[in-house]
Amino acid sequence: MSRKIWLDGQLVDEADAKISVFDHGLLYGDGIFEGIRFYEGRVFKLTEHIERLFLSAKAILMTLPWTVEEVCGFVLETVKANGLRDGYIRLVVTRGAGDLGLNPYLCPTPSMFVIASAITLYPEEFYQNGLEVVTCGTRRPTPASVSPQVKSLNYLNNVMAKVEALNAGAKEGLMLNEQGFVAECTGDNVFVVKDGEVITPPVSDGSLDGITRQAIFELCEELGIGIREETMTRYDLYTADEAFLTGTAAEVIPMVKLDVREIGDGKPGIVTLKLVEAFRNLVRTTGTEIY
């Protein structure tokens, strides 16, 4: 069965999902995206994701010809068309077709496509035993350029940092900002646990205010676990009791080693495992129903 892709108002077969070679998303990375998960027939934090998409669009002066409610409907329509109950959604909006120049105002209409598919980012063994991470030389973009809060199609710095990590034999790479403070990993937010309290870098240090990141704040409040934002260096990770990463695709996953240094005792910690369990329960009991 051919996978169905929602493309500019139509569901088409995967082989027919094509965009113009003059599309500014392809030519210049001029566009935005969201990655969204769905579990047991429910889309997790769908409205929050689509609202963030519209904020990204506003930040780059892209006017979307749909409402938040309409885009939510397109997402649900795509998942239904593929008969899926668990998986991952990639929603992409490009500036649309224009010419070979940079001028975005020559692209009259944005283009959008929605992909729904199965996904497994990390094998289950890494959720049980934890990830080893290395620090990458490639830095996160400064807020003085394109804000890290914009989920733009230009992910080349993240891709190159990922290459560094993979070449070093690690599954994930830690990225610092231009001042040398911890920002985030190539696709995930970073948290540490120290003396029973959860700490994460503020978004002003170069991280994306992730949807899963926000969920951790909510879960910590429900569980009575202290949580706060604080500027961090690698020393704070090296000397933490526990550490974990969060992201839509990765969910909540323990980090047990950074730059060959064991974090804590080198095993997933009690607080981390409690949050992993709470998050898994959250995604399977809440969300927008698909069917």
- Residues designated catalytic: 151
> Nearest 5 degrees, angle CA 108-CA 110-CA 116?
160
- CA atoms of 131 and 265, how far apart (whole Å): 13
- CB under 8 A, 24+ apart: contacts of 81-86: 81/4, 81/6, 81/11, 81/116, 82/3, 82/4, 82/116, 82/117, 84/38, 84/116, 84/117, 84/118, 85/38, 85/40, 85/41, 85/290, 86/38, 86/39, 86/40, 86/118
Q: For Cα atoms 194, 201, 217, give the angle at the middle one, nearest 5 degrees.
A: 75
Report strand pairing: 288-289 vs 42-43: antiparallel
Residue with tokens 């199609």: 153
Asked if 174 and 190 touch (Cβ cutoff 8 Å), the reply is yes
Do the beta carbons of residue 177 and residue 190 sit within 8 Å? no
Which residue, 184, 89, 82, is CA-closest to 133?
184
Q: Which amino acid is located at 41 in the chain?
A: G
* 242: three-class secondary structure by DSSP: strand
SS3 289: strand
Are the C-beta atoms of 216 and 191 separated by less than 8 Å?
Answer: yes
